Amino acid sequence: MFIIRWIIGRIILVLNFIFSPSSPKLTKAQQSALDEQLNHLSLYQLPACPFCVKVRRAMKRNGFNIELKNINQQSNYQDELIKYGGKRKVPCLRIANADGTDTWMYESSDIVAYLEQFSVKAA
């Protein structure tokens, strides 16, 4: 089963690379303002997970620079996800609220819909 998942994962990564969406043409001021709006977000993910790819593609289409945390590469990311988010499931968007609390969003479609509110029209 591991070999099949590994092969499928590599196919997903290759197709994502070949058909990668283009980023919007934003001015430096627009990109800087957008980055400032998004600095409270981080995405816990796995590179070959198809649902994570969906979220990362939406991020690229909108020019979002959100911190990516690969839970297999750094064990502390996986530990954070389980301890604070409640389960080991990706993709998971961690939203650091102004009051010091965190919101953990798990469904890829919900994450994409949430991120769309930050999209900026290209110059």
Whether residue 120 is predicted with pLDDT greater than 80 in this model: the reply is no
Tracing tokens 């389980």 back to the chain, one arrives at 82
CB half-sphere exposure, 94, CA atoms < 13 A: 24
Q: Where are the domains of the chain?
A: 27-116
The 67-70 sheet, strands edge to edge: 67-70, 41-45, 92-96, 102-105
What's the whole-model pTM score? 0.89
* Superfamily for domain range 27-116: Glutaredoxin (3.40.30.10)
Q: For residue 21, give the amino acid letter.
A: P
Predicted pLDDT of residue 123: 47
Predicted pLDDT of residue 15: 92
pLDDT tens track for 44-95: 999 999 999 999 999 999 999 999 999 999 999 999 999 999 999 999 999 9
